[in-house]
Amino acid sequence: MNPPLLDAREITVRFGGLTAVDAVSACFMPGELVGIIGPNGAGKTTFFNAISGVTRPTSGQLLASGRDLSGQAPHRYAAHGIARTFQTPRVFGDMPVRDNIAFGLQFAGRRPRQYLFWGDEASVPWVLRTPESILALIGLLPQADLPAAAITPSQQRLLEIGMALATRPRLLLLDEVAAGLTESEVEAMAQLIRRLRDELDLCVVWIEHAVTTLLRHVERVIVLHQGRKIADGAPAEVVCNAEVIEAYLGDEMAEESPA
């Protein structure tokens, strides 16, 4: 059996006397679609920062496909197939949309790859080989020549996903990509996330405040509260968990079992 794409073991992050993440463990396997939920201050983004190399954990161990990346820089995580987005999209506003994607492809191209027939591109899906194919995948090809600063905030979120995809990840971490979107845009984003998982065989881990939408689309959900993991299981099970209801979701969420 293959090792997890990412195995987070007892991850703890402290800022002075504040424990933001308290001994959280989680495994993420190939092809999974996992949601992470919790109230403000639950430690969700700090946990993401820790498992993507942005923040060095105070203690714990991070294994990517069996290799220990604990304490290493973000580019080492990216080199092992881990990509992420941020709550506020980080795009190059003065550059055309196409060039933002090209930057990600150039970053990916720095990884050493050796294959007999197709060289560096041998294991890369066709849809991730050019800026145009990636933009078509995320629905931004008509905006290819516009400066990134000129497209809408929801399109900038899509662009950041495209930039992450350009690094050819196996694990994609999405931090509140539905924030600020309309109800229809949130649903379209959820459909895109599921399609990316299905078509590219990615493991996708998705933090979101749009809890009902997330529960409807993910297959496993992790609940954080006050820096601790209080639940990890199928959405239908988690929404009935007494500790989850008390800590975060409220009694009404017990009735929102996903279809």
Residue 91 and residue 100: Cα distance in Å, rounded?
Answer: 7
Residue 253 pLDDT exceeds 80:
no
Which band of pLDDT confidence, cut at 50, 70 and 90, is reported for residue 161?
very high
Residue 216 and residue 42: Cα distance in Å, rounded?
Answer: 21
Residue 257 pLDDT exceeds 70:
no
Question: What is the rounded average pLDDT of the residues 168-181?
Answer: 91
Which band of pLDDT confidence, cut at 50, 70 and 90, is reported for residue 248?
low
CATH 3.40.50.300 correct for 1-81+170-259 = yes
pTM higher than the cut 0.85: yes
Residue 115 pLDDT exceeds 60:
no
What are the extents of the domains in the chain?
A: 1-81+170-259, 94-168
Task: Answer whether 234's CB lies under 8 Å from 61's CB.
Answer: no
Q: Residue written as tokens 């649903």?
A: 187
